[in-house]
Amino acid sequence: MKLIRLNKFIAESGICSRRKADELILQERIQVNSKTVSDLGSKIDPDVDKVSYDGETINIIKHVYVLMNKPKGVVTTTADEKNRRTVVDLVAIKEKVFPVGRLDYNTTGVLLLTNDGDFAYYLTHPKNKVRREYSVNLDRSLSKEDAEKMKKGVFIDGVRGKFISVVYPNENSGKFVVVTTEEGRNHFVKNMFQTLGYTVTGLNRDRFGDFTADIPTGSFRILTDIEVNRVKEKYEKRT
């Protein structure tokens, strides 16, 4: 008999990350052998116990990992109430996947999708400090003074955020900068600039952790085992 944590089983069913699985357990939306479970420390035997999510049986599935170079005009979700095209619509594979984190509707660049909740958890949990690099187009030139302010930290909705670096690739135009951060909050880059009176007119995520957009815009590829294992080896022990 091999017992595993219930939240790990839920994550490996492809529904969500372990962090989100804990929320589902606390919300009493998970049943084990037809009995609702609310204890975060619960363990199960996957070969014997029957696990359900909102009454629907779930099982561990084959994991798949996708890298996309997200285009503009696509929603980073699995479904959209406005019937807009989603990133999942662009992934022509039979397995169901969900996006790891989020990019705004008109933001482009590196996006990962998977059905492995743990993999998503490793890359999005704040304590793992996964770096993101963005190319940013602004409505006006960014002053060196404001760049330094954002590296020291500014407050967004009462929470301090900062860029690790702000680089000016084109010395003749301060309207284009490249920033690096460990933050994953929604609209974080846009909000950082907006706090100091700048408007982001174009945004591309160049790098997410070790991954870059090495494929044409709008296309995707399956990650190699080496790439997947590199993430797991790097972050598993921290979780």
Identify whether residues 135 and 117 lie together within a single domain.
Answer: no
Q: Which of 58, 74, 99 is the last residue of a domain?
A: 58
Q: Could you list the residue range(s) of the whole structural domain that residue 183 is in?
A: 131-208
Identify whether residues 94 and 194 lie together within a single domain.
Answer: no
Residue 118 annotated as catalytic: no
Kind and range of the H or E element at 100? Answer: strand 98-100
Q: How many domains does the chain have?
A: 3
Identify whether residues 85 and 144 lie together within a single domain.
Answer: no
Q: What is the CATH number of the domain that holds 33?
A: 3.10.290.10
CA of 219: how far to CAs of 71, 101, 106, 125, 173, in Å?
A: 9, 18, 16, 26, 30
Q: What percent of the chain has pLDDT over 90?
A: 81
Candidate from 21-30, 62-71, 138-147, 168-177 with smallest mean pLDDT: 168-177
Identify whether residues 180 and 228 lie together within a single domain.
Answer: no
- Whole-angstrom Cα distance, residue 96 to residue 63? 10
Identify whether residues 121 and 135 lie together within a single domain.
Answer: no
Identify whether residues 73 and 18 lie together within a single domain.
Answer: no
Identify whether residues 180 and 142 lie together within a single domain.
Answer: yes
- Whole-angstrom Cα distance, residue 184 to residue 166? 17
- Asked if residue 84 has pLDDT above 60, the reply is yes
Q: What is the CATH number of the domain that holds 97?
A: 3.30.70.580
- Asked if residue 63 has pLDDT above 60, the reply is yes
Instruction: Classify the phi-psi angles of 203: left when phi > 0, otherwise alpha if psi is within -120 to 50, otherwise beta.
Output: beta
Identify whether residues 151 and 182 lie together within a single domain.
Answer: yes
Q: Are 155 and 115 in contact (CB under 8 A)?
A: no
Identify whether residues 120 and 71 lie together within a single domain.
Answer: yes
Phi, psi of 202 (to 5 degrees): -160, 140
pLDDT score of 1: 58
Identify whether residues 148 and 199 lie together within a single domain.
Answer: yes
Residues 6+ apart with CB under 8 A from 177: 135, 136, 138, 142, 147, 166, 167, 168, 169
Entry pTM? 0.81
Catalytic residue among 104, 118, 214, 225: 104
Q: What is the CATH number of the domain that holds 137?
A: 3.30.70.1560
Average model confidence (pLDDT) across the chain: 93
For the chain, what percentages of helix, strand and coil (3-state, to nearest 5) are there?
25, 30, 45
For every residue of 150-217, DSSP letters joined together read: HHH-EEETTEEE--SEEE-S-TT-TTEEEEEE----TTHHHHHHHHTT--EEEEEEEEETTEE--S-T
3-state secondary structure of 144: helix
- Asked if residue 183 has pLDDT above 70, the reply is yes
Identify whether residues 151 and 200 lie together within a single domain.
Answer: yes
